[in-house]
Every structure is written in C-alpha cells, then in structure tokens.
Amino acid sequence: QAQAGWLQHDFGHLSVFSKSRWNHWVHKFVIGHLKGAPASWWNHLHFQHHAKPNCFRKDPDVNMHPLFFALGKTLSVELGVQKKKFMPYNHQHKYFFIIGPPALVPLYFQWYIFYFAVQRKQWVDLAWMLSFYIRFFLTYLPFLGVKGTLGLHLLVRFIESNWFVWVTQMNHIPMHIDYDKNVDWFSTQLQATCNVHQSLFNDWFSGHLNFQIEHHLFPTMPRHNYWK
C-alpha cells in the first residue's frame, strides 16, 4: 500500500507517460482500485501543497497547526503571545508518535475520502474506490471472516499511516513554516523543502521523495532522475 502510494504520486504528477491523458487514466486506477481513494481528492489537496508549501492556511499539509501541533518558529511565537493553549505543545515531541503517524490514514483519511467523493459528485472515482473494497473483502472474507478482514484492513492502514507520515513530514516540517509572504515561487519551494540522505533503502522507502527539493522544483520529472 505504501509503494502504491508513491506510484500514484508519480502518475498524479504526470511524470510517467508522455501524454497527460494516460497519466490521468492510470492514476485513477492505481489510487482508486489499488488503494481505495479518489484521484480528485488527491489532486485537490496535493496541488495546493505544491503551490504554497508550508504556507499556513494555504497548504493543507500544515493544517494540524494549532489544533494538534505548534509548527514553525513564527507561528509558535504567535501562539505563545496570544496564550492560546490548544494542546500541551511543550510535550508535542512525545505525543506526536501517538496521534501523528498512527492516526492519519485510518482515522481521518478513511472516512473523509468517501465524504469528498460523494460531496463533489466524483462518481467515477467512487466506483474505482468501491472496486478496491469489493476486491479486498472478496479476497479475505473466506479466510478471515468479517472481523478478521476488518482487522486486517485497519492493521494495513495503521502501518501505512506511520510509513506515510514519516516520509512526508521529514522533508517539510523541519523547514520554514509561516503565513504566505508572497515570496517568488522558486524561493518558496526551497524554503519549504529539504532532502534526506540518498541510499538504496531511503530511495525505496520514500519513493525517491528523499529528493524533496528536486521534486518541488521539477514536479513532473520522473523520480529516478532526481539524483542527477
């Protein structure tokens, strides 16, 4: 599931086929049938992220500030001055491991993706999503029963969520986070991204998103060329 996530990311950025239409078609299949999520939802969120990375209220990836975490020096100081105590932020480095990686996919994404598809009348995406769940339950129900199949699905999502959050946060959250200052596009991308060491394992584990700087500057570039 994690590797299918990196794969759909490639198709979503139109970086596999030379024709955009082919990328869009396969993107719907990979994220819909292999992962059970709508392509339209991913595009809606991810394109905002690439347009304004780490810009509070414009990048959906940093919307957990200030409800769960205090992100970035500027925003954190602002919270301190206003004395807004949403959470015990002085302990966020501890509770991050409890409510961050484990909860995102199984508790939030799992219900929101259906809400998104129905609310926006994305019926094609919804059909692809349902095909994933139908295939999943037809495959495992005879062996595990209803409870076992639901448990397996939750376990897979739990592990995937930890994997996904670690990869997506380690190359953005350490960087500058602030309100949108209307800085030029090139500088905005560089301020919000950092790379992680290259190794055979890191390339595989992160879907080559350890080259986050290159990815944000050249988002349609095929991932195996980032190192060049």
The domain limits of the chain are: 1-179
- C-alpha 205/C-alpha 107 separation (Å) is 23
Is-contact 100 165, C-beta < 8 A?
Answer: yes
Q: Tell me what pLDDT residue 86 has.
A: 78
- Cis before 66? omega within 30: yes
Burial of 196 (C-beta count, 10 Å sphere; 0-12/13-18/19+): middle
- C-alpha 95/C-alpha 100 separation (Å) is 8
In 3D, which of 117, 99, 115 has the Cα closest to residue 107? Answer: 99
Q: Tell me what pLDDT residue 106 has.
A: 66
- C-alpha 165/C-alpha 102 separation (Å) is 8
Question: Mean pLDDT per segment of 10 residues, for the chain of length 228 residues?
Answer: 96 96 97 95 95 95 88 90 82 84 70 90 96 96 96 90 89 94 95 95 96 97 95
In 3D, which of 73, 58, 57 has the Cα closest to residue 173? Answer: 73
Per DSSP, the three-state class of 178 is strand
